[in-house]
Amino acid sequence: MTKFLIDTNSIVEAKDFFYAFDLCPGFWNSVLRHHESGEVFSIDHVKSELTEGNDILVRWAKKMPKSFFVPTGTAEVATEYPTIIQWV
């Protein structure tokens, strides 16, 4: 199964432009559904950025399952980092 990692900009742009919470709640529900099916995630640094503000994204980020925001300070991430840098 392909997994997708969503960055901060993707979430903020969705909220600000095409998928505002009040206009398109189905988008945000689908993010949760795709996460629950193991396809969509983000990282802890994104959560930190989203929760610095004072808007609906703060509440959304805090309501998402803990498993949505993958921790990056793990040995597994450190082991894979050289591979990622080489790919980039």
Query: What are 41's strand-pairing partners?
Result: 5
Q: Describe the strand order of the beta sheet including 4-5 as a list of residue ranges.
A: 4-5, 40-43, 69-70
Q: Are 58 and 50 in contact (CB under 8 A)?
A: yes
The tens place of each residue's pLDDT in the chain, 88 residues long, gives: 899 999 999 999 999 999 999 999 999 999 999 999 999 999 999 999 999 989 999 999 999 999 999 999 999 888 988 988 898 8
Report pLDDT for 62: 96
Side-chain half-sphere exposure of 59, counting CA atoms within 13 A:
6
pLDDT score recorded for residue 80: 87
**What was the pLDDT predicted at 71?**
95
Strand partners, 83: none
Say which DSSP state 74 is in.
S
pTM of the predicted structure, to 2 decimals: 0.86
**Residue recorded with tokens 């997708």:** 4
**What are the structural domain ranges in the chain?**
4-87
